[in-house]
Structure 1
Amino acid sequence: MTPAPVDTWLLVDAGNTRVKWALADAAAPLGSWLAQGAMAHGLLDTLIAEWQAAQAEQGRVPARVLAANVAGGGVRAAIEGALRVCAPGAALEWFTSLPWRAGVLNGYANPAQLGCDRFAAAIGARALAPGRNIVIANCGTATTVDAVTADGRFIGGMILPGLRLMSGALARNTAQLPQIDAGTVLPPVFADNTHDAILSGCLAAQAGAIGRAVAAHGGATCIISGGAAPLIAPVLAVPARHVDNIVMLGLHAALLAGGMDETC
């Protein structure tokens, strides 16, 4: 028998490469998950089984779902199809970038054009470091480096190719594709072979962008997240707090803050 919906939330972060999710008790503190998971887009056909297993183990079906999607219509359709099976009674909201939400004022020239993942990450960072100037570096398929002021204004940021994209672009012309994963050994700054030189240069470019943003934002608190963060964080010249999945934390913070508010 399928459990009845209870005061439980399902958070979904559909990024360019993977779909991450977390199940949270509505009364739990920020970042406290009952269950969580992640899968590549090519494995989305297993999403129903994974969610059903988590719900059966916890004895809960979510009453509310908040999902951020930057991966396009196909991924959105797959998530919606899984929810029709796993949580047919849940209230589903697709997270979008609003002028104001959860204590963050969206300062983009056109607030709706800000990527919803970047807005969620700003909300998450603000919840983790309230009252501080913050730089959020989210290092995934693309690397985004964004700034939030101490009073909660998202003032903008920068987007550059992620570490794998950047190294791949160079390697296509050198036949020296670096293997980049969580176990990659960091090369010396001055590498003695092309493979390591590509990786060293790309790490320096990523770290330099983040360091420049921190300096421009008055020595702000830096939060780094994303799949490439374990490689980039050790080469930063500025202190940084490594946070797993800042977008998911932002979605959670948005729900903990209550309803949507487009005014300030």
Structure 2
Amino acid sequence: MIRIAADLGNSRMKWALVGESGTVSPSTALPPDDPLAWDAIWQLWSKNLGAGADDSIRPRWAVASVNPPAAAKLRAFLAARGIEEVSWYETASDVPLPMDVEDANQGGADRALAVLAAAARKPAGRTGLVVSCGTAITIERIGAEGVWLGGVIAPGLFLCARALHMLTAQLPLIHPSAAAPSWGRGTIDSMEAGLFWGTVGAIKELIARQAFDPPGEPWIVWTGGDADRLARATSGEAARIVPDLVLEGLVLAAFGPARGQGTRGLSP
């Protein structure tokens, strides 16, 4: 059985093949609203794997989405190719995860799926944090027993850069890296300093505020497109980075032992 996991976000979609043991192959990043780009990858995979040649090898999909318009396009894309077996995760309440949060049916599935994967990696008995660095920066709290306790949502690095560009008359659009200076003598290097190190400072403060009971240093894992640059600037070279953590959670939810354990957890 060919299995494919897809994480449909606000800025991009990531596809990955799922191995027989449940391992996720390196993902392919695609635009979230470009079926022509999707089709190019689909044709390549179909040719290499024999997908779609007959019903016995028709792929089985699992999809996480926080982007309803793009999800509608993906539904049509899959239906047009005869893909009928699709597990959709569109809110946090769809994810088989014990949780103590409010309004899980309005929360992002990607947040809950990242927690599900992190809880499976986390040392037993330790509290944990998941720092996701994408369009938004989220920090998820995990109790010692693996219960999702909610977290923090803040604007991501590129979202802040876009806001500065779009809501001002003359500031350019930039995407600063970890090479950003501490201050600048010109407009661009001043923006790089403020955006990058301001974001790093915000993450440090938000992490520092995540006290647990009983107290102790939480286990932390980072994920998302900007995780590499922000994690190392915040926590150093020893930062634990898992680029496809949401896809790992998606595999656990749809194809792994977590499937069928219920989705509401401790939430009202």
TM-score range, shorter chain: 0.7 to 0.9
Q: Aligned match of 2:135 in 136, 141, 158?
A: 141
Distance verdict in 2 for CA 1:208–1:154, change over 3 Å: farther
Aligned partner of 2:256 in structure 1 is: 256
Deviation per CA, 1:199-235: give whole Å up to 9, x if none.
2222233323332343324431221121222321232
Distance verdict in 2 for CA 1:127–1:30, change over 3 Å: farther
Shift of 1:89: 4.9
Q: Aligned match of 2:175 in 174, 180, 183?
A: 180
Distance verdict in 2 for CA 1:198–1:93, change over 3 Å: same
Aligned partner of 2:149 in structure 1 is: 155
Letter in 2 for 1:191: G
Q: Aligned match of 2:103 in 90, 110, 124?
A: 110
SS at match of 2:67: coil
Distance verdict in 2 for CA 1:213–1:151, change over 3 Å: farther
* Aligned residues: CA RMSD: 2.5
Distance verdict in 2 for CA 1:91–1:258, change over 3 Å: farther
SS at match of 1:206: helix
SS at match of 2:18: strand
Cα pair 1:8 1:63 within 8 Å, conserved: yes
Aligned partner of 1:246 in structure 2 is: 245
Query: What is the rounded CA distance, in whole Å, between the counterparts of 1:242 and 1:9 in structure 2?
Result: 24
Distance verdict in 2 for CA 1:174–1:246, change over 3 Å: farther
Q: Does 1:64 align with 2:66?
A: no
Cα pair 1:121 1:136 within 8 Å, conserved: yes
Cα pair 2:33 2:70 within 8 Å, conserved: no
Shift of 1:161: 1.0
Distance verdict in 2 for CA 1:259–1:225, change over 3 Å: closer
SS at match of 1:66: strand
Distance verdict in 2 for CA 1:142–1:69, change over 3 Å: same
Cα pair 1:207 1:237 within 8 Å, conserved: no
Shift of 1:90: 4.0
Letter in 2 for 1:242: I
Deviation per CA, 1:79-123: give whole Å up to 9, x if none.
11221244x25421111422861xx31221122222111011111
- The unaligned stretches of length 5 or more in structure 1 are 1-6
* Larger strand proportion of the pair: 1
Letter in 2 for 1:97: A
Shift of 1:76: 1.4
Query: What is the rounded CA distance, in whole Å, between the counterparts of 1:253 and 1:243 in structure 2?
Result: 15
Aligned partner of 2:217 in structure 1 is: 219
Shift of 1:8: 2.6
Cα pair 2:232 2:239 within 8 Å, conserved: no
- The unaligned stretches of length 5 or more in structure 2 are 52-56
Cα pair 2:131 2:140 within 8 Å, conserved: yes
Letter in 2 for 1:57: N
Q: Does 1:196 align with 2:169?
A: no
Shift of 1:146: 1.2
Aligned partner of 1:81 in structure 2 is: 76
Query: What is the rounded CA distance, in whole Å, between the counterparts of 1:209 and 1:253 in structure 2?
Result: 31
- Identical pairs, percent: 26
Distance verdict in 2 for CA 1:208–1:83, change over 3 Å: same
TM-score by length of 2: 0.81
Q: Does 1:210 align with 2:234?
A: no
Cα pair 2:9 2:32 within 8 Å, conserved: no
Shift of 1:62: 4.9
Aligned partner of 1:54 in structure 2 is: 45
Distance verdict in 2 for CA 1:47–1:167, change over 3 Å: closer
